[in-house]
Structure 1
Amino acid sequence: MIDKSSLGRHISHQFNTEIEDLRERVLTMGGIVERVLADAVEALASGKANAMSEVKAEDRKVNHLEVFIDQAITQLIARRQPTASDLRLVLTVSRVIVDLERIGDEAKKVYRMATRLTDSRGKHADAFTEAENLGQHVQKMLRGSLDSFARLDPEAALQVVREDDKVDREHEEIIRLNMTYMLEDPRNIKRAVDLMWAVRALERIGDHARNVAEHSIFMVTGHDVRYVPLEQVEEVVRAER
């Protein structure tokens, strides 16, 4: 005779193991994306970039992980039919991996622009310094969003959401600075445009990091805070305290 309570505990344990495996793979994916972004920002800041081959190899790892996790989610839903908070976690994972893959793509763009800007660091160094600061800012946002996901911490996620407006302002300032250089001397146009493409990619990374943080808030609270004012996000997080 089958012990139904024992069977239930066994199934529950298997499900929890599968859920935890999904979370770990997301964090592995996030770690790779962090490394690619760090390398891209360093290349942009130093004016010295290696060949794109390593970045492309890391990007392929990210893409393969996205496909693997997506397939695992489909199988888990079909087998376990999760509900309530378990379903929220699975949905969050499915959203987070999309944003992480896009962060990887944007970081690759930054690195590509850095290879084109090699040895340009000494020209209009203030613009490159501002770009480096922006890069460090979005790195901090990405790290915070992954941390909030790992620790199920809506407070940490809220802090990431708050930082996004600051990143937007930094991005706009760099664009204005580069426009000034372009107007001063047409010979600056190519370099300025390449740098603007790089900082645009960094700004988009900030947007995706914010998305990851918002997904984490949804996972914990059950409230979808995408596309809502910051004040409403703060209210949701306060209610969870």
Structure 2
Amino acid sequence: MTDKHISSQFDNELNQVSSHVLELGGMVEMQIRQAMYALSEFNIEVADQVQDTEHRVNALELEIDRELSNIIARRQPTAIDLRLLLAISKTTANLERVGDEAAKIARMVKRIIDSGKARVLPAGELRMAADLAAQQLRKALDAFARLSADDAVAIIKDDDHVDREFDGFVRKLITYMMEDPRTISASLDLLTLAKAIERIGDHAKNIAEFVIYIVKGADVRHSGPDGVESAAR
């Protein structure tokens, strides 16, 4: 077997596992959309769909892990290729955690509905933050598909927008609770939902950092904005 043939097989295996990562990304994006619809409409059936999808997300994560393990065992990749496989593995883990956050939102929605206090909550206030987090994830997946370090840098910079939305929402909730202490319990539930949305944005940022790691070989997880831009050049 020629080296060219081995290289071609390796490329095919990498393309397959990358396609599965993007498939996983599509599944968790759908979970986010469904979770936010369930929250805005207090729809228990859609919340159930989010939780049903969680099982498929977990199964696909395990399949990707098996594929990566098989590639490493069969191909004995070089340091550069091993870096790529490691980043793919970490990207997969972050996508699975996004699915966990969406499922958490769905479970909370069902609990709120069961409690009978659904309409007390100003759930619409969360839409902007949720939309931003979902956009961040979509951009991160696009950056992964194109292996674009420049796009990844833009995503990392934009993460501040999601954080500001979360901070602003927390301030609104504090005012809400101070004006009417009877809403404290409901507001705490909403805070849990807001935190889950913020974490989705964090995972999108993590994926962008791994894209830079794949393309440039630089670990920017604990770098400031200047360090990220410098590494991506």
User: What is the TM-score with the length of structure 1 in the denominator?
Assistant: 0.90
Residue 65 of structure 1 deviates from its aligned partner by 1.1
Q: Which amino acid aligns with 1:61?
A: R
Q: Equivalent of 2:205, from 210, 221, 236?
A: 210
The answer as to whether partners of 2:121 and 2:190 remain within 8 angstroms in 1 is: no
2:23 is matched with which residue? 28
Larger Cα-atom Rg: 1
Matched, 1:147 2:135: no
Residue 162 of structure 1 deviates from its aligned partner by 0.9
CA distance in 2, matches of 1:90, 1:133: 34
Matched, 1:96 2:91: yes
Q: Deviations over 1:76-113 (max 9, x none)?
A: 11111111432221111111011011110011111222
1:69 is matched with which residue? 64
2:76 is matched with which residue? 81
Q: Equivalent of 1:9, from 4, 7, 10?
A: 4
Relative to structure 1, is the Cα distance of residues 170 and 120 closer, same or farther in structure 2, using a 3 angstrom cutoff? farther
CA distance in 1, matches of 2:131, 2:46: 22
Q: Deviations over 1:141-193 (max 9, x none)?
A: 00000000001111111111111112111111111111211122222112211
Residue 75 of structure 1 deviates from its aligned partner by 1.4
CA distance in 1, matches of 2:177, 2:107: 21
1:54 is matched with which residue? 49
CA distance in 2, matches of 1:49, 1:144: 29
CA distance in 1, matches of 2:182, 2:107: 21
The answer as to whether partners of 1:106 and 1:202 remain within 8 angstroms in 2 is: yes
CA distance in 1, matches of 2:174, 2:203: 26
The answer as to whether partners of 1:25 and 1:69 remain within 8 angstroms in 2 is: yes
2:217 is matched with which residue? 222
Matched, 1:107 2:102: yes
SS in 2 for 1:50: helix
Q: List gaps (5 residues or longer) in structure 2.
A: none
Q: Equivalent of 1:170, from 165, 170, 181?
A: 165
Q: Which amino acid aligns with 2:193?
A: A
How much is the aligned-residue C-alpha RMSD, in angstroms? Answer: 1.8
The answer as to whether partners of 1:99 and 1:212 remain within 8 angstroms in 2 is: yes
The answer as to whether partners of 2:176 and 2:183 remain within 8 angstroms in 1 is: yes
Q: Deviations over 1:14-39 (max 9, x none)?
A: 11110101100000111000000111
Q: Deviations over 1:203-240 (max 9, x none)?
A: 01111110001001110011011111111101122x2x
Range with bigger deviation, 26-35 or 54-63: 54-63
User: What is the TM-score with the length of structure 2 in the denominator?
Assistant: 0.93
